[in-house]
Amino acid sequence: MLFFRGHDWDEGMSREETQRVLDRLTAWIEGLQQAGVMRGGSPLGRAGSVVSEHQVRAVADGPFAEAKEIIGGYLAVEVADLAAAVAIARKCPTLGHGITIEVRPVLAECPIVQRLREPPALAAA
């Protein structure tokens, strides 16, 4: 999974320059689709909520404009390994415009569930 982080990457750019980058971004995404590795993706809105039990079960509503790195969207790719996903992320046209991409594996199962299936460790004598 590729998570796109950052503020509006087009700040300070002309409309023409923004359009050129968008055209390159569109071509990059279409290339992933043609290669058969893209499984989905979408931009994300800024409005949202953060739910936390630590704040007396508070719900903090956004947008979170003060946040340093807003998650602006995601892209799901199906590739052989994390290195292949990183290679795809490195070719994203918005990287040179203040965007970072977090690349994470999507797991088939929660690691906590996996640990619970393991036999308990024997206590040291």
Q: Rounded to whole angstroms, how far apart are CA atoms 4 and 101?
A: 5
| Parallel/antiparallel/unpaired status of strands 100-103 and 49-52 | unpaired
- How crowded is the C-beta side of 12, counted as CA atoms within 13 Å? 4
Nearest to 99 by CA among 53, 43, 23: 43
The model's pTM: 0.79
- The correct CATH number of 2-117 out of 1.10.540.10, 3.30.930.10, 3.30.70.1060, 3.40.50.150 is 3.30.70.1060
User: Which pLDDT tens digit goes with each residue over 30-55?
Assistant: 999 999 999 999 998 877 777 777 76
Q: Rounded to whole angstroms, how far apart are CA atoms 39 and 26?
A: 15
Give long-range contacts, CB 8 A cutoff, 24+ apart: 15-20: none
Q: Which of 45-49, 76-80, 87-91 has the lowest mean pLDDT?
A: 45-49
